[in-house]
Structure 1
């Protein structure tokens, strides 16, 4: 299974997307070449924020679309969200890759208000994560912070959905690829309410287009934490979906148990869920010591919360495997909080 991790991840859906020649020769608005709206009608999605418009940037921002280097590229353009992401909340947003990605780098992530957006205007670099003020996820499948790039996920390109999950209460940052969580990438995002954190995207590729399709922000409550843990228990989540009274909760927290991908052609590159769990667990074990050193205020209880689904099975005297009683008690308690 490991070699598949190096392959380029296919798109989220089977909708047609323009090839590089069509994009290069198109004289109009490049996003008009794409009619796909898969994933944009998610129930519970709030009115999305918009990208910040800057006259100095070599990026054209229209509504939710960003066209990087609309004429030709001579460096790296960085675009941030219009407003800072509020502290004490969890934030999730999704972006669709409209064009094929190429060149030095195209990255998705976050940064503080101290990021100089025009710093690399005439330099081709992996801009997000070059220092302590930003964190980035590259289309090469690597994440970067403080100038250090480390392997994280699959390489991705046109048609993919890139999700960003930011927990400003715990300082956790996680990325999603085609609605699949890739595991917590960093635990050292500032939780100080006086530090402004913005969503950011950067690109060195000429005529590369990124579209914001979903975003939501939710206050951190006991109900949210309960659903977060329940979402990692497939059987319990199925029970939740069958309860009409919880429809509002399911809509509000849809990003914690997002709908599956639409693409039929991507199945050949899919991991089995069990394999994903093993890989994610190994990745967490290898990097946990390093991550905890990076953040002095990591909440160990929350880490156990996030990994409750990984509690091992015990074998009964009869030889049958069964869940520990504590798991059942924990799930019942989560149901109590959700209701």
Structure 2
């Protein structure tokens, strides 16, 4: 793989932790089992284990070893798609988290969901962004884009080796949300059909690319879950709840709504914080824009949160002046408001 330029490297999201990961040359030349080259277990003790596994298929150019997927173990001649063993229940919310073990490159590596109508062998000999090519799947690319029905939209930073990619699916409302290093990127889609069979999916065109499932959980939608989801927008309140012995089991069940974060040293050196580090693709942080929204502003929090990545216009308080700002500047203000 060609070396990444300094400019492109600076635009990539830093890894979740500072553990050592093998470089591309070591991966290409190794005769050993690639997942064994990574000892990192950071974040794997956050949840309650894994409630499902990947589905192994003899037809796919991918090997399943427990939680690990090794795409194109010899060489790549197209796109391999892997899905979970079972569809998600319709009356629950689901969250799963994957670690990127190897450096990502090539046409695309995508994370997302798809229905039982997705043909897993359709692009076996074609290099494409497979998830989201039609109405049967929804995908999030390592290039920082989401895709559905063949339409790609920008959705944050590029990412690669060492990052954690999370997927939150609310089957009761049809909401699909993506996380990067345990920071929500906002709701990507609100059109997930409630009565279709939906599976978790990953696809890759990159030879010897490895993805590991580290956490997965499903929870029924109850008043308790809804209450905690609302509290999750206030990290300081969540931290207070974590200190209460009687709530330990509840916090463990709903950990994914306010997942514990471990910053890499690179992130700390760049002074990244909750509002900026993973959700925005801006090369320079606009830390001077700390304006908070006041209580007298009529804003629908849920609606804004669900569509934050699509908003490009912001109206000033004067009412007459309207100016265009970048999506990233707007999100910078909004996510600081959530704090």
1:39 aligns with 2:63: no
Report if the CA contact (8 A) 2:50-2:214 is conserved: no
> Using a 3 Å threshold, how does the CA distance of structure 1 residues 271 and 312 change in structure 2: closer, same or farther?
closer
1:93 and 2:104 correspond: no
The answer to which of 270-279 and 216-225 deviates more is: 270-279
User: In the alignment, does 2:12 pair up with 1:11?
Assistant: no
TM-score normalised over the length of structure 2? 0.79
User: Per the alignment, do residues 172 and 288 of structure 1 end up closer, same or farther by CA in structure 2, a change over 3 Å counting?
Assistant: farther
More helix per residue: 1 or 2?
Answer: 1
Q: Distance in 1 between matches of 2:274 and 2:33?
A: 40
Equivalent positions of 1:174-193 (< 5 A) are 174-192=177-195
1:62 pairs, out of 62, 65, 79, with 65
Structure 2 Cα separation of the partners of residues 311 and 119 of structure 1:
39
CA deviation after TM superposition for structure 1 residue 238, in Å: 2.7
1:147 to 145, 150, 153: 150
> Structure 1 125/50 Cα, relative in aligned 2: closer, same or farther at 3 Å?
same
CA offset digits 1:255-274 (Å, max 9, x no partner): 11111124122224564445
The CA deviation at 1:284 is 2.3
Q: Which stretch has the larger CA shift, 86-95 or 268-277?
A: 268-277
- Picking from 263, 274, 284, the partner of 2:307 is 284
Structure 1 residue ranges without an equivalent (≥5): 290-309, 314-339
Q: Distance in 2 between matches of 1:160 and 1:202?
A: 16
Task: Confirm or deny: 8 A CA contact 2:188 2:306 kept in the other structure.
Answer: no
**Which residue number corresponds to residue 78 of structure 1?**
81
CA contact (8 A) 1:79 1:201 kept: yes
| Change beyond 3 A, Cα 1:311–1:120 | closer
- C-alpha root-mean-square deviation of aligned residues, in Å? 2.7
Q: TM-score, normalised by structure 1?
A: 0.79
| 1:268 to 1:133, Cα distance in 2 relative to 1, 3 A | farther
Q: Decide which of 159, 165, 168 is 1:165's aligned counterpart.
A: 168
Check if 1:241 corresponds to 2:242: yes
